[in-house]
Chain A
Amino acid sequence: MLRLIPVLPFLGFLVNASFGRRISRRAAGAVASAVMLASLVVALVAAGNLVGLPNPGRALVEPAFSWISSGDFSVNATLRLDPLSAVMILVVTGIGSLIHIYSTAYMDKETDSEYARYFSYLNLFAAFMLVLVLGSNFLVMFVGWEGVGLCSYLLVGFWYQKESASDAGKKAFIVNRIGDFGFLLGVLLAYVRFSTLDFQDLARSASALSPETSFGTLSLITLLLFVGAAGKSAQIPLHVWLPDAMEGPTPVSALIHAATMVTAGVYLIGRNAVLFSHAPITLTIVAAIGVATALLAATIGLVQNDIKRVLAYSTVSQLGYMFLAMGVGAYAAGIFHLYTHAFFKALLFLGSGAVIHALGGEQDLRRMGGLRRELPIAYSTFLVGAMAIAGVPGLAGFFSKDEVLFQTYAGGHTLLWIVGLVTSLLTAIYMFRLVFLAFHGARGEEPGAAHHPSHLHDAPPAMALALIVLALGSIVAGYAGLPRALGGSNRFERFLEPSFIVSQETRRAAGLQGDLEEAETATASLEVGLMAVSTLVAAGGIGLAFFFFLRNPRAADDMVNRFAGLHRVLANKYYVDEIYDVTVVQPIRIVSEDGLWRGIDVRAIDGTVNMVGETVVGSSEILRRLQAGSVRVSAASLFLGVVLILGYYLWR
């Protein structure tokens, strides 16, 4: 049954890829959405079956054929559903279905064949993403891992005639490949060390070891895997592709670059929680990179003027939170944030999509404003999403972000907690800056504003449906993990726990951090206190945004002028792209072209060869006069001789 979950979207891909040009666009969109919904139903049934199993170690395993075997190495194409992958498939199929439905309306300006092509890619993506989360070993996961990278490449570059789009797609793929370099080496090292690539077997073998106190093999394995995770999940220093990936259609940004694919890195760590728990040095690095990414991306998000880029940096920043959680060993909290983030970030992207759709492709915040009257559905749902991400109490983001921060603080990482808190302030500011600039105030006065149609259409039904469902999700999703401190029982994390179970035991053994439940009951009052701080921070952020971007826009300009240098650095994203270009891209290009190719290949090697050749020719000139005949004749006679001799002996 598990097989059906990725196979259904794959069938959708096949249908649209082969017959997409021949069936109506309606049929193309319907097929694509139907297979996703069917996959969602199967996923729900599978998750239901899973819950029905006895708790410790519950999992559904579906072995398939042996994929690659060579000597003592063998890998099966096995799928496995445990609580962690159950959460992931529900996110992928659930939010995936909504985004497919949304897309049927959003992509309506495309020609029929482009429309079908879009949906075939989107289905293919879903299929690979499901393989990624269902694979029971590294290689099956890697199929999905590379597959989603491919679909991301295709979808970011969907409007291939635009150079910026195909550039962005290529950049996404190549930066991801840099991550894959680490991933692959980590996998190889893991295999050489443990003689297996199966997640369960690896976890069992690793749990028999004691955590590494110095940087050993496990630390190296996990660090290499983290390089892969950082590539896929856009963490520093491999974050540069994600903002550019916004060149793709907005629903793609929502599905791939917010809700699902970019979280694969977080999932990778969650999936290998046991390995990571035994490598505290790597965990420290993960947490540090995570929190640094969260902070830096948030600062960049403050000054961007492209509505999708703000959201992109916000995604990078939120992914940083998830890595922070993973890094402090709060795996369940990290996955919880992944899950709530999928709702509200998909919602925000789709909301921005509704705005862009209404404005005929306009993405510049400076040319928006006052849209709340004309686009009430987009506005109200977007506002819910913004509140959720900013951490307004009661909404999804509040619970999950708070859980991450609480676990960080409770784990004794005060510095990380402070940075996380500052980031959460910045989050509230940049999110509400966006809300105020786009939906409140007056329409921007920048040149070009006049091009907008005077009467704007709000989200059409298919889009509105997705927005409303996601908005509801952004409100209620957090209650699945209502913490004990607020009278809940943190069911979400308890459900997930078995997926990290070996790790919990060893964590206790290692004295890294107490048991989840103990920690919770002992520190309920602490948690409530921290929540209050977070709430204040969120309110403060929204207030600041209100002051600078709605009440007194001139103050914002003053700030920009006063800190012009800083503003320039932020607006240029710390010049990371430029630095890479100067230090990596150009040198490689120049060395390859002038050094290796024209220098070594053409001049050194070929030069030598030709020189030898000329010497020989020169000296044989004398010999040549003695012998008549040409190469052709002598070669042909040699050849004929061979044929005759062979023929004779063959038929003798």
Chain B
Amino acid sequence: MIALPIAGAILLLFIRDDEHNEALIRKIALVVSVLVFAETLLLWSRFNASSADFQFIERHAWIPDFGISYFVGVDGISLLLLVLTGFLTPLALLGSWESIHKHTRAFCMFVLVLESAMMGVFVSLDLFLFYVFWDAMLIPMYFLIGIWGYDRRIYAAVKFMLYTMAGSVLMLLAILGLALLHNTNTPSGGYSFDLLQLYGMPIPARLQFWFFLAFALAFAIKVPLFPFHTWLPDAHVEAPTAGSVILAGVLLKMGTYGLVRFAFPLFPLAAAYFATALATLAVIGIVYGALVAMVQPDLKKLVAYSSVSHLGFVVLGIAAMNTQGVQGAVYQMLSHGVSTGGLFLIVGMLSDRRHTRLIAEYGGLKKVMPHLVAVFLIVTLASIGLPGLNGFVGEFLILLGAFRWNPRMAVFAATGVVLSATYMLWMFQRVNYGEVTDENNARLVDLTPREWAVIVPVVAISVLMGVLPNLFLRPIEPSVQRMVNQVQQSAPVRIQAGGRRTRNLQLGMKNSELVPNSESIPNSKFPIHN
């Protein structure tokens, strides 16, 4: 699955990049990406949803002396993220069908290579391999923004690159530290980057603290968590449609995926210690992102800040570290990928027509393009979290998980429900309602068949995910539960879902609210205090 897109990219190398071959190149890339999607679906169909274990494991020694191996496998958490990647890539290619005419071959190659790297990140069970894919992702994205972007593309690309690199360097150190620790701290000894082995390794609390910080910083930048988010609006605004779709749809999930896969289960004590801080940043992000989104004059920036808000929910769910919270978080990752991907595709359609992304340049589009506005409305509503569409399920589960953990967090996060409606509907009104004031908007063409093909799958999946969420929740659940148990057992002070907290509530809210997690970790276990 990783190999196929790369093979496609290599195939493209053999086709001369000129105008004559442009259509052919695009078609090959599209066919390849559709095949990859089919492959992910096949994987899903063969996936045993009742098992929490990693499946389809492949392991080849790579650099045995250092315990590095090509070790991949899929569990419920990564499975659907792979499907999401497979789903969005062809749409991204199709969405950029007519807007990219410069270096088409390179463009398609970069998209395919990026797809490989993203898939690689999701399946890696070897930390070194993970890191390789993690950084490999940056390069094609850098070029996608830097070459095919808009006016300030170089600034945005460099900012994107530096921000992410800054985080990943620390993460690399932590990864190496872990491998060294395995050599000294385990009976078997030897360096190891094997995630499953490292899961079982006891790590002193003090080291957990630093390792967690290093991982969490890399992931927080990627999420992006407030206040590490400022690369995102620039990157989105300058990126071409395909870049934005993939960036918002898949790349942003890398950070939250990393938290779930690595930071929390590897360092449960530190995770418990930092959970409240992380959740606080997440909640600030939810409110802050929404408020700033509200006043953006640029459509892409608005959607970018809305991502900060939506991903705040994801981090909150992870920080809650109970089944509903984490499962909701994984669901929200998928759901955000679909609806924000959809929003960027639609913004792409608008800017293909008008070559502007400024909200003020539009107005009254409903009259001119009723079909486009209708699908725009559905995607908008999905993003707002209307029950029956995809956004609601994840948000609700996250709020439920957060409420069971720390009601105050849930209360602040729930204001996002009001704010998201405000900024999305205001934007929607300014773009689509009212009279057509600008002559340039008066004769825009409605959805073309190609655009129908792009947006219909998005709408269909939105509805499916809203009406039958269990289809997607089931395969996620065992892996999430295993992971939650793993973390909770190592840090037993965390209150499990239901349980004590419920009883506290009987006595009134106050007791249960005033037990932040940091206090409940005994200092003896956590020498860092002393």
Contacts and interface: CB of A to CB of B under 8 A. Distances in A.
Q: Is the pairing of A and B real?
A: yes
Interface of A: 65-73, 113, 139, 142-143, 146-147, 150, 153, 157, 160-161, 163, 166-167, 170, 173-174, 177-178, 180-181, 184-185, 188-189, 191-193, 195, 216-217, 220, 588-589, 591-593, 596-597, 600-601, 605-606, 609, 613, 632, 635-636, 638-639, 642-643, 646-647, 649-650, 652
Contact of A191 (B3, B367, B400): B400
Chain A interface, >50% SS class: helix
B207 interface: no
Contacts of A153: 425
B527 interface: no
B457 interface: no
B328 interface: yes
Nearest to A21: B370
Closest 5 CB pairs of A and B: A71-B323, A593-B295, A166-B433, A592-B291, A160-B433
Residues of B in contact with A, size category: 35 or more
Contacts of A652: 60
Contacts of A184: 396, 399, 414, 417
B460 to A, nearest CB: 14
Nearest to B403: A188
Contact of A68 (B62, B470, B481): B470
Contact of B327 (A70, A216, A639): A70
A217 B509 CA distance: 7
Contact of A589 (B294, B433, B469): B294
Nearest to B395: A184
Contacts of A167: 429
A142 B434 contact: no
B136 A601 contact: no
B417 A180 contact: yes
Chain B interface, >50% SS class: helix
Contacts of B396: 68, 139, 184
B502 interface: yes
A598 B146 CA distance: 25
A139 B322 contact: no
A181 B286 CA distance: 15
A70 B397 contact: yes
Contacts of B66: none
A173 B421 contact: yes
B105 to A, nearest CB: 15
B111 to A, nearest CB: 14
Contact of B410 (A147, A185, A600, A638): A185
B162 interface: yes
22 contacts: A69-B470, A71-B327, A73-B323, A139-B387, A157-B429, A161-B433, A166-B429, A170-B426, A174-B418, A177-B418, A180-B418, A181-B414, A184-B414, A185-B411, A192-B403, A589-B295, A592-B292, A597-B292, A606-B230, A636-B139, A647-B6, A652-B60
Nearest to B435: A161
B491 interface: no
B397 A68 contact: yes
A147 B136 CA distance: 44
B407 to A, nearest CB: 8
B440 interface: no
B70 interface: yes
Q: Which of B113, B136, B292, B367 has the most CB of A within 10 A?
A: B292
B32 to A, nearest CB: 16
A646 B116 CA distance: 11
A375 B162 CA distance: 75
B303 to A, nearest CB: 15
B393 A68 contact: yes
Q: Which of A150, A177, A643 has the most CB of B within 10 A?
A: A177
B36 to A, nearest CB: 15
Q: Which of B139, B233, B422, B433 has the most CB of A within 10 A?
A: B433
B421 A174 contact: yes
Contacts of B292: 592, 596-597, 601
A217 B508 contact: yes
B426 A596 contact: no
Contact of A639 (B139, B477, B508): B139
A616 to B, nearest CB: 8
B142 interface: yes
A494 to B, nearest CB: 35
B506 A217 contact: yes
A586 to B, nearest CB: 12
B238 to A, nearest CB: 14
A189 B506 CA distance: 11
Contacts of B435: 161
A639 B110 CA distance: 11
B157 to A, nearest CB: 9
A157 B370 contact: no
A161 B295 contact: no
A195 B498 contact: yes
B369 interface: no
Contacts of B295: 589, 592-593, 597
Contact of B162 (A193, A613, A639): A613
Contact of A70 (B2, B291, B323, B498): B323
Given A178-B418, A217-B505, A220-B509, A192 B404 contact: yes
A588 B399 CA distance: 24
B415 A181 contact: yes
